[in-house]
Amino acid sequence: MKSDLKARQRNGTAGAEGRGKSAPANGALVTSAAAVPWQERSAGCRDVMWRYSANPIIGRHHMPGVQGIYNSAVAPYGDGFVGVFRLEKRCRFPRLHVGWSDDGFDWHIEPEPIQFASGDPESPADYAYDPRLCQIDGIYYITWCGGHNGPTISVATTRDFQSFDRLENAFLPFNRNGVLFPRKIGGKYFMLSRPSDDGHTPFGDIYVSQSPDMCHWGMHRLVMRRGGSEVGQWWQRTKIGAGPIPIETDDGWLTIYHGVMDTCNGFVYSMGAALLDLDDPSRVRYRTNQHILTPEQDYEVSGHVPNVVFPCAALVDTERDRLAVYYGAADTSCCLAFARLGELVSFVKDNSCVF
């Protein structure tokens, strides 16, 4: 398999040729020629989202000298998939590494981190974590939490995953969880983000910002607040942050996010979902009044940071009604969960609490 992956690295293109039929006309959802990773819900399971039975797909020691690969992004590419992975060696300093996969389950990850070209002395190579990967009009954009006198949203572009150009940081510090929309809305780029602090941030709501050029960001609007006792939403009472690139559906932008609850033993990170208005994503149409996945398995409750499920990417096959969500588990490993896209949208609408 490695030789196929290497060949794709050399020859892969971001073009639409050879992709599955399920890509809609606006190109916002791009499917690979390869099938989206999938496993049917097991008999007796009633959950709207279910885990891959062979999780984690990338374990604690996936490569020599590596201590954890988690909170990572993937996208269709050529006849397979590409990923940008948060990887930590024994120094525990997070960097971004490219990975390749034929099937979305089995990943070859480059041993050396991405080198970003940048003419900006204000953007030195510092820590980089929690990437998201978004294709807009044939260009792949990577957004991540980068160091710039504290964490904020860094942005880079690539077409071939071999050369990478840094753009200006999107926002002032402190900010995290920068998530682009996969197409322009009203002629503007849109990005979700979560203003934060310089530490482990005991607060946080999701905002959306607009840009005409991916450089100047403004018109910042509140999208969703964290929940609390007033709305009976403890699972998301401390902070929330956007996860995978929003998925365009007839009922709005399906936005999977993490919701955090503080406990006497630390934070617990769960997954929820919302539907944002297609034309004005600052308007929440529906939002789950319960988590759709919460740490329960050993690899989620035990690791470098216990009790974390942290979604960063999703692959969609609209024709087969399949959704595969990539999430980091316990700040240690990469995992997969699945849902029927139609069922998840109905679930969000039927179990909604907008506040």
Q: Which stretch binds ligand BMA (CB under 6 A): 5-13, 14-22, 283-291, 303-311?
A: 303-311
Q: Does 235 bind ligand BMA (CB under 6 A)?
A: no
Task: Please report whether residue 210 would count as binding ligand BMA according to CB under 6 A.
Answer: no
Establish if 129 lies at the interface with ligand BMA (CB under 6 A). Answer: yes
Instruction: Give the one residue of 71, 135, 152, 255 binding ligand BMA; rule: CB under 6 A.
Output: 71
**Nearest residue to ligand BMA, using CB?**
305
Q: Tell me: does residue 331 bind ligand BMA (CB under 6 A).
A: yes
List 305, 316, 337, 339, residue binding ligand BMA (CB under 6 A): 305
Helix (H, G, I), strand (E, B) or coil at 342: helix
Is the Cβ of residue 102 or residue 331 nearer to ligand BMA in the bound state? 331
Residue 90, exposed/middle/buried by CB under 10 A (0-12, 13-18, 19+)? exposed
Report, in this order, helix, strand and coil percent for the chain, each rounded to 5.
10, 45, 50
Shortest gap between Cβ of 64 and ligand BMA (angstroms)? 23
Alpha carbon distance 249, 255 (integer Å): 10
Binding residues among 250-289 for ligand BMA as defined by CB under 6 A: 269
Please report, to the nearest 10 degrees, the dihedral formed by the alpha carbons of residues 118, 119, 122, 127 taken in order: 20
Q: Of residues 85, 116, 299, 310, which one binds ligand BMA by CB under 6 A?
A: 310
Of 136 and 268, the one with the shorter C-beta distance to ligand BMA is: 268
Cα distance between residue 134 and residue 82, in whole Å: 11
Distance CA 174, CA 148 (A): 9
- Give the single-character DSSP code of 346: H
Instruction: In angstroms, give the least distance from the CB of 25 to ligand BMA.
Output: 35
User: Count residues contacting ligand BMA (CB under 6 A)?
Assistant: 10
Decide if residue 308 touches ligand BMA (CB under 6 A).
Answer: yes
Pick from 277, 267, 280, 275: nearest CA to 239:
267
Q: Which is nearer to ligand BMA, 312 or 323 (CB)?
A: 312
Give dist(CA 19, CA 101) in Å, integer: 16
Measure the CA–CA gap between 96 and 302, rounded to whole angstroms: 23
Between residues 34 and 261, which has the closer beta carbon with respect to ligand BMA? 261
Contacts of 354 (CB under 8 A, 6+ apart): 284, 285, 286, 287
Binding residues vs ligand BMA (CB under 6 A)? 71, 129-130, 200, 269, 305, 308, 310, 328, 331
